[in-house]
């Protein structure tokens, strides 16, 4: 059976062989749309050799905010040869620079052999009873005795209420974004300490799901890993690509410098669309560098379901764990975004191992054969009316119990994503506390996928991947050092 999404978006993409230029031509005009947020259209633009985001207007004399993805960090010095009104910001770890270019400058920069992609700085969307018990994380805390105390997790979101009672003990890092093109010294993140940087409550809620300690509810509404260290990057109400990329860069720079020891990063935002995975997009490159430095990126699937081929662009990366949203009865919600059906006329790959191997070859050599992305969700977790931390006056404070002013129940894959990030934190904590060391990100990802439960007949690979998360099984394997292999990952029956 072929649904309307597939019929509308079908195209030929054999995946028999792929070079870096060919990959960019594959995403082409449609590929740029994968980065456009829900409900926002693209500006007029032209493509040049497949290295220019079609959301950019190369015919315009006006300056446009862009991220330029280079082959190496040293190549960012190319921008010194251009007359840039506000200069440029080269990131510390990632081979990416942020600047403003006219249409002519965009074409000139894109034409250089060291440039992989010129991308518009687009705005992304936040993917706006007890998840802890439904997933088994509560049992992990009470019966197995793990609460994340040896692990450091990161949330990139709208911000956090630094005054919230549940975040007083473990909020060890809190950063507020500053536009580096507007600051005198190129500063991009300022410490926010115990300030309230969250204008709507979204980030406070997701942070509480990962690591809220339940202080304001006598522990009742604690998160998945309440003893974990937590760092939050505050992007504000408007999350543009540059903010997310900057957060990844700052996180990785601090880890490389030995200032933190981060293992998991939760990302409840993105943009949905039917396009193929773009290996040279700025945030895709950022998540790859994160994965290589042993920080597992967890992303929400998106809220564009129930149609297929609506998956968040960033969950299509084989090194990212994408999360669908379920109700407490474990059914997949209608709003949770889906991947591609096997009948899709184009690349439909569910094999993470194959795509990961191809992508590694691509990043090393610029050429690869076969698919680079995966077009399914990883696992599912509760995302419907999830209770978590919220400031008493936050705009999203619409479904709070009368006697719980510091909590609220809201829905979205934004809520399921931090649940999985918190469970990944527990998996790592169990390994560390039993002398198994810090597992590689891929081992954590594989184990969470391999232990997921094929609970319902309504499950299929494109709506939930390998099934509903089982925190107890995943953590039990981790404490014994028995991490899953690719061969043990089984997609749900359908």
Question: For residue 400, what pLDDT is reported?
Answer: 60
CA-CA distance, 152 to 296, in Å (whole number)?
11
Query: Looking at the domain covering 41-121, what would its CATH class be?
Result: alpha beta
User: So where are the chain's domains?
Assistant: 41-121, 125-488
| pLDDT of res. 125 | 80
- Annotate 374-395 with DSSP letters as a single string: --S--EEEE-SSEEEE--TT-T
DSSP for residue 458? T
Residues contacting 85, CB < 8 A, separation 6+:
63, 100
Strand arrangement, sheet containing 64-70 = 88-90, 96-101, 64-70, 115-120
Tens digit of each residue's pLDDT (9 = 90 or more) over 15-52: 334 444 344 333 332 333 332 222 222 222 223 335 99
Which tens digit of pLDDT belongs to each residue from 344-361?
999 999 999 999 999 999
> Could you say which residues of the chain have pLDDT below 70?
1-50, 128-130, 398-403
**How far, in Å, CA of 313 to CA of 279, rounded?**
11
69-109, pLDDT tens digit by residue?
A: 999 999 999 999 999 999 999 999 999 999 999 999 999 99
Superfamily of domain 125-488: Peptidase S8/S53 domain (3.40.50.200)
Q: Specify the pTM.
A: 0.88
């Amino acid at each position: 059976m072929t649904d309307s999404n597939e019929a509308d978006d079908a195209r030929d993409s054999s995946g028999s062989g792929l070079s870096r230029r060919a990959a960019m031509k594959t995403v082409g005009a449609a590929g740029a749309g994968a980065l456009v947020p829900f409900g926002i259209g693209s500006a007029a633009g032209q493509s040049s050799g497949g290295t220019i985001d079609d959301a950019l207007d190369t015919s315009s004399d006006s300056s446009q905010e862009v991220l330029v993805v280079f082959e190496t960090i040293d190549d960012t010095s190319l921008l010194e040869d251009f007359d840039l009104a506000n200069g440029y910001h080269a990131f510390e770890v990632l081979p990416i620079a942020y600047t403003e270019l006219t249409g002519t400058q965009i074409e000139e920069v894109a034409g250089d052999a060291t440039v992989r992609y010129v991308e518009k700085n687009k705005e992304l969307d936040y993917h706006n009873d007890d998840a802890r018990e439904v997933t088994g994380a509560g049992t992990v805390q009470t019966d197995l005795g793990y609460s994340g105390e040896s692990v450091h997790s990161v949330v990139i979101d709208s911000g956090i209420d630094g005054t919230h009672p549940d975040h007083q003990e473990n909020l060890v890092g809190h950063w507020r974004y500053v536009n580096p093109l507007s600051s005198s010294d190129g500063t991009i993140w300022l410490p926010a300490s115990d300030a309230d940087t969250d204008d709507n409550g979204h980030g406070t809620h997701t942070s509480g799901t990962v690591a809220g300690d339940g202080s304001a509810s006598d522990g009742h509404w604690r998160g998945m890993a309440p003893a974990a260290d937590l760092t939050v990057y505050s992007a504000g109400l408007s999350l543009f690509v540059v903010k997310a990329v900057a957060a990844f860069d700052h996180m990785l720079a601090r880890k490389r410098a030995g200032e933190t020891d981060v293992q998991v990063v939760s990302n409840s935002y993105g943009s949905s669309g039917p396009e193929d995975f773009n290996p040279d997009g700025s945030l895709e490159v950022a998540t790859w560098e994160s994965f290589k430095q042993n920080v597992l990126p967890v992303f929400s699937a998106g809220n564009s379901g129930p149609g297929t081929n609506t998956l968040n662009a960033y969950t299509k990366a084989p090194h990212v764990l994408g999360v669908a949203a379920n109700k407490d009865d474990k059914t997949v919600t209608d709003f949770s975004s889906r991947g591609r059906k096997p009948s899709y006329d184009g690349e439909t790959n569910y094999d993470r191992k194959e795509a990961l191997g191809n992508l590694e070859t691509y990043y090393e050599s610029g050429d690869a054969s076969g698919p680079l992305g995966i077009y399914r969700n990883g696992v599912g977790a509760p995302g419907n009316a999830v209770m978590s931390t919220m400031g008493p006056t936050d705009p999203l404070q619409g479904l709070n119990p009368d006697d719980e002013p510091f909590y609220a129940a809201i829905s979205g894959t934004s809520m399921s994503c931090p649940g999985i990030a918190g469970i990944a934190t527990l998996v790592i904590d169990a390994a560390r506390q039993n002398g198994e060391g810090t597992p590689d990100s891929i081992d954590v990802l594989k184990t969470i996928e391999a232990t997921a439960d094929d609970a319902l007949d309504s499950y299929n690979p494109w709506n939930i991947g390998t099934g509903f998360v089982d925190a107890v099984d995943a953590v039990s394997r981790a404490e014994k050092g028995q991490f899953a292999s690719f061969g043990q990952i089984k997609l749900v029956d359908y």
